[in-house]
Structure 1
């Protein structure tokens, strides 16, 4: 039986915990807050940046999923979350039974590719501090004695992640059209499914790109959401900064057995919008 510690058990980690429990794994979720976990998961409250809080950790952990989120969007917070945190945790954890580490990274490690295709063989070229720190963290974990796999997730969306939806509803969203800016997404449930898959593989590759099947020009995604919301078409505007236009390929993850429930973010966002509307109407 797998004994899995999810360090940084937030939205994706909680969804992963539910999947693991359903297939009979023992699950611990470590987080700073006291938010509830799925029934059957054991909660650990600690701060990964503070070694003094990493006490009474479970013994016999076989798989570690490191899915921490920084406390702020600055380089110091990123370094605490992704460089100090793993070091503190591995120093405090009983690792006698540990067979694999899965690190939740980001496609922010890639830079500008002019709308070209990007996969695991594409050399990283992070344009901002967040991608640089994550790339450094990937290398640090790969240098440990335990096998490590990094899942480089694209932009997450799903229930409760309403910022983009509200911007489009209010007519504030902007996107370039010529040339188009290519965007990449993955639903939070599919991100959890990808992590679950990597924990089940006997010998996963060191790196996977976690993304759906359908890279989209940003203006096409925004226009589709505007139609679904009954909102004005998005106006033209500058591309997002610090990301880079590229089309991420999930071919390696697909070949390993990944089959996203939401292969296209247009239908995935539509389901999120419809579910939120139904929830509001039922109150």
Structure 2
């Protein structure tokens, strides 16, 4: 009955590429909202569809007769999206999915790639899947509502797994390229805020492991190296032989010290990180 990836952006495409050796034994349907992406996605799929996940007819067509649905949703465009845009992308999509479940009797597995941002600020402490979310932001509240909607779809016949992802990096999103523009600049604060990362190949690999292993519940997908922003930036600029950032002190752009995210459950489930530390 196969698999559908709803949302074939940066991560969805990485998942599709890792699944190529399984075709045609595993029929693969990919969806996108961007017509211009058809040329680069066509060869990766047995079926490629334009699909707005908030449209019942389009979502039903994409999931009909499928056993597994993977939701790698992201707001459209590259600009910062407000909370209302997040709500349309995530909450409205999952409300649409919920309304269709009676018409999807073959759908036995749902995997959703969420975000570790739902933990909010923990003042630099460690958090894991048992930590109560504390977002403090409108975006985070939307993501939590999305998790609630997805979780409620699980039952004795349908497994639901939520993968809370750290920030993604990898081909096309290399950290050195993203940070080199800070060379020689002055930044407010002291850079003590912890950031958490995962390579896109590991995010995709963990998702496939979740599918194969019938994972359920929440799993943090993050590497072994929570890192303070000043250390991340300074290390990258030194590697590139660029001028260091000057941390000027004062109120930081991001309040608090962030959180260090534990990946013990990911490892206990048997996933072995390809990139346990930042490259």
2:69 maps to 1:64: yes
- In structure 2, relative to structure 1, the CA distance for the partners of 1:170 and 1:141 (3 Å cut) is closer
Where does the alignment leave 5 or more consecutive residues of structure 1 unmatched? 268-283
**Aligned match for 2:272, one of 259, 263, 272:** 259
Q: Count matched residues.
A: 263
- Offset of 1:13 from its aligned partner? 0.6
**Aligned match for 1:142, one of 140, 144, 151:** 151
- In structure 2, relative to structure 1, the CA distance for the partners of 1:244 and 1:196 (3 Å cut) is farther
- In structure 2, relative to structure 1, the CA distance for the partners of 1:240 and 1:168 (3 Å cut) is farther
**Partner deviation per Cα, 1:117-140 (whole Å, 9 max, x = no partner):** 010011100121111111111111
2:212 maps to 1:200: yes
2:97 maps to 1:97: no
2:125 maps to 1:113: no
- Offset of 1:192 from its aligned partner? 0.6
For residues 186 and 22 of structure 2, the distance between their equivalents in structure 1, rounded to whole angstroms, comes to 41
**Aligned match for 1:241, one of 227, 235, 254:** 254
Q: Which residue of 1 aligns with 2:41?
A: 37
- In structure 2, relative to structure 1, the CA distance for the partners of 1:84 and 1:214 (3 Å cut) is same
- Offset of 1:8 from its aligned partner? 1.0
- Offset of 1:86 from its aligned partner? 2.2
**Partner deviation per Cα, 1:43-75 (whole Å, 9 max, x = no partner):** 111212333544643532111111111236111
For residues 108 and 56 of structure 1, the distance between their equivalents in structure 2, rounded to whole angstroms, comes to 32
- In structure 2, relative to structure 1, the CA distance for the partners of 1:259 and 1:47 (3 Å cut) is same
- In structure 2, relative to structure 1, the CA distance for the partners of 1:170 and 1:115 (3 Å cut) is closer
TM-score (norm 2): 0.85
TM-score (norm 1): 0.84
Does the CA-based 8 Å contact 1:209-1:250 persist in structure 2? Answer: yes
**Aligned match for 1:126, one of 135, 150, 157:** 135
Where does the alignment leave 5 or more consecutive residues of structure 2 unmatched? none
- In structure 2, relative to structure 1, the CA distance for the partners of 1:150 and 1:54 (3 Å cut) is closer
For residues 73 and 60 of structure 2, the distance between their equivalents in structure 1, rounded to whole angstroms, comes to 18
- In structure 2, relative to structure 1, the CA distance for the partners of 1:175 and 1:155 (3 Å cut) is farther
